[in-house]
Amino acid sequence: IINQPQVAILDLEAIKKQAVVLTDPEGNDSIAIRPMTIVGLSWDHRALDGVQAAQFLATVKRNLEGLAAG
């Protein structure tokens, strides 16, 4: 439940190691263990458009991946 004056709630789950498929520049797939999390966002559609919410989540993703890269 989003209580006014809040307009969104960001949920960040625990980081856990998971197997993921990685594709190299040549198109070859491999399996690797990577730290992964689930990020969720609930927002009031009267205050934020879905495009804005998606852009925000993309920025969060990019920043988290940047931290992981070092």
pLDDT tens string 3-35: 889 999 999 999 999 999 999 999 999 999 999
Instruction: Kindly state whether residue 14 falls inside one of the protein's structural domains.
Output: yes
Q: Is 49 designated active site?
A: yes
> What is the total count of domains within the chain?
1
Instruction: Kindly state whether residue 1 falls inside one of the protein's structural domains.
Output: no
Instruction: Kindly state whether residue 54 falls inside one of the protein's structural domains.
Output: yes
52: left (phi over 0), alpha (psi -120 to 50) or beta: alpha
Q: Is the distance from CB of 2 to CB of 8 less than 8 angstroms?
A: yes
Q: What is the DSSP letter of 25?
A: T
Instruction: Kindly state whether residue 3 falls inside one of the protein's structural domains.
Output: no
1 pLDDT band, cuts 50/70/90, is confident
Run of H or E residues at 52: helix 50-69
Q: Is 45 designated active site?
A: yes
pLDDT exceeds 90 at position 66? no
The domain of 61 spans 8-69
SS3 23: strand
Q: Is the distance from CB of 43 to CB of 2 less than 8 angstroms?
A: yes
- Scanning the structure block, which residue is given the tokens 């520049």? 25
Instruction: Kindly state whether residue 2 falls inside one of the protein's structural domains.
Output: no
